[in-house]
Amino acid sequence: MTGDVLVVDLGSTRVAWRGPRGDGSAAHEGDPGAVLARAFGGGRPASAVVVGSVADSAAAESLRRICEGRWGVPVLELVAAPESLGVRNGYRNPAQLGIDRWAAIVAARVAHDGAVLVADCGTAVTVDYVDAAGRHRGGVIGPGIGLMRSMLGAGTRLRLGATLGAGAGILGRDTEEAVAIGTAAGVAGLLESTRREVAAAFGAPDALLITGGEAQAVRARLGGNWSHVPGLVLDGLALLAAEVM
């Protein structure tokens, strides 16, 4: 893959990118094309765009409309494969695995020779395990901090503002702080319980990696063995793109 490629991670609520004219990320509110148009103005950001998308079809079309329609730049959309770069997909239907998860575990495996547990903390929280032989053994999915917060607001009479908060304390002294702590602790609990169960079933992973937009809030509540790796999905998308371009 040449250096003149824009790599885009299109999530359910956020879009992140990496390319020759710079990196960035932002909430897209269903219109990621408009986000990229503002980020790059009228100029072409690259000669090609590679996208890993778990967003709905309308958001994906918004992105394609800007890239192909306005800039005249071809878009290649990646999907999970049965095997890439020495990693074997563990899903019964490999294409069903989200491309963000696939990219993250491929990048993690390329960076680490041994067994690795990868947590991606975004709108949803995913945890995936790859053994020392490069076999993806599967994963778990749960709600992220923002979704937990939304569910609390919808299912109770709590009045919650727009600010998520760091949730770094032990006990909250107002509702916002208590919810921030509780939701971050809930995600951290999912990660730690998965780590323990994986260790009991397969042996302790050689590396524990955490990425995603809420990783810092969750990482503060985890043991010291978890390493924060920003941009792990973009790393993986770039590796997968290089394999096919």
Is residue 86 within a helix (H) or strand (E), and if so which, with residue range? none
CA dist., res. 169 & res. 211, Å (int): 21
Helix, strand, coil percentages (3-state) for the chain, rounded to 5, are: 40, 25, 35
Catalytic-residue membership of 174: no
CA dist., res. 128 & res. 136, Å (int): 7
User: Amino acid letter at 240?
Assistant: L
Catalytic residue among 9, 31, 100, 235: 100
> Among candidates 97, 86, 78, which has minimal Cα distance to 139?
97
Q: What is the DSSP letter of 135?
A: B
CB-side neighbour CA atoms (13 Å) of 224: 0
Task: Point out the residues that are catalytic.
Answer: 100
